[in-house]
């Protein structure tokens, strides 16, 4: 893998649009098979078995990219979408695939109906004040 091969879209200006339409990366799927809708702030954490995703022939380059980034430091769905410059919906499907294949798992943010723990809120306040 050479540097020049990293970003094939680099040659085109923004007006030309992406060379590969984003949902082609998901083979046309707009939702994933996982039971839970992945929250924007759900953190993607690679499983210990996912040490070298590039060797997994079943993964697309985008899948590999996601795992590699999260191996460096676990990232949220929103951060992955921003850094890969992909729509959130596409990242959700790709991460959903990785969850299904047990290559990564995602943290579950506080369910909507539940109140965040008061101790956590207190820690947030202290943390903000200490910034």
Partner 1 sequence: MVYGRSSQRQRPVEPVTLKILVAGGFGVGKTTMVGAVSEIRPLRTEEMLSEAGRPVDDVDGVEGKTTTTVAMDFGRITLREDLVLYVFGTPGQDRFWFLWDELAQGALGAVVLADTRRLADSFAAVDYFERRAIPFTVAVNCFEGAGRFPAETVRAALDLDPEVPLVMCDARERESVKEVLVTVVEHAMTRAALQRAHATT
Q: How far apart are CB 107 and partner 1 at their closest, in Å?
A: 5
Please report whether residue 127 would count as binding partner 1 according to CB under 8 A. Answer: yes
Q: Which stretch binds partner 1 (CB under 8 A): 4-12, 58-66, 84-92, 94-102?
A: 84-92
Q: How far apart are CA 23 and CA 104, in angstroms?
A: 21
Q: Which of 41, 49, 100, 102 binds partner 1 (CB under 8 A)?
A: 41
Q: How far apart are CA 131 and CA 120, in angstroms?
A: 16
Please report whether residue 110 would count as binding partner 1 according to CB under 8 A. Answer: yes
Please report whether residue 57 would count as binding partner 1 according to CB under 8 A. Answer: no
Please report whether residue 131 would count as binding partner 1 according to CB under 8 A. Answer: yes
Half-sphere exposure in the Cβ direction for 116 (13 Å, CA) = 9
Please report whether residue 14 would count as binding partner 1 according to CB under 8 A. Answer: no
Please report whether residue 36 would count as binding partner 1 according to CB under 8 A. Answer: no
3-state secondary structure 39-63: CCCCEEEECCCCCCHHHCCCCCHHH
Q: How far apart are CA 77 and CA 75, in angstroms?
A: 7
Q: How far apart are CA 95 and CA 8, in angstroms?
A: 22
The two structure tokens encoding residue 57? 């022939």
Please report whether residue 32 would count as binding partner 1 according to CB under 8 A. Answer: no
Triad 8, 61, 78: Cα angle to 5°: 90
Q: Which of 29, 56, 69, 78 binds partner 1 (CB under 8 A)?
A: 78
Q: Residues interacting with partner 1, by CB under 8 A?
A: 1, 22, 39-43, 45-46, 48, 51, 54, 71, 73-74, 76, 78-79, 81-83, 87-89, 107, 109-112, 115-116, 118, 120-125, 127-129, 131
């Amino acid at each position: 893998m050479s540097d020049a091969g990293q970003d094939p879209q680099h040659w085109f200006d923004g007006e030309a649009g992406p060379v590969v339409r984003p949902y082609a990366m998901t083979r046309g799927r707009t939702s994933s098979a996982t039971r839970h809708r992945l929250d924007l702030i759900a953190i993607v954490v690679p499983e210990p078995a996912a040490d070298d995703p590039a060797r997994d022939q079943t993964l697309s380059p985008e899948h590999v990219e996601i795992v590699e980034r999260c191996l460096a430091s676990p990232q949220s769905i929103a951060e992955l979408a921003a850094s890969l410059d992909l729509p959130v919906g596409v990242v959700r499907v790709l991460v959903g695939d990785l969850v299904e294949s047990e290559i990564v798992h995602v943290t579950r943010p506080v369910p909507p109906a539940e109140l965040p723990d008061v101790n956590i809120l207190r820690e947030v306040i202290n943390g903000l004040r200490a910034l």
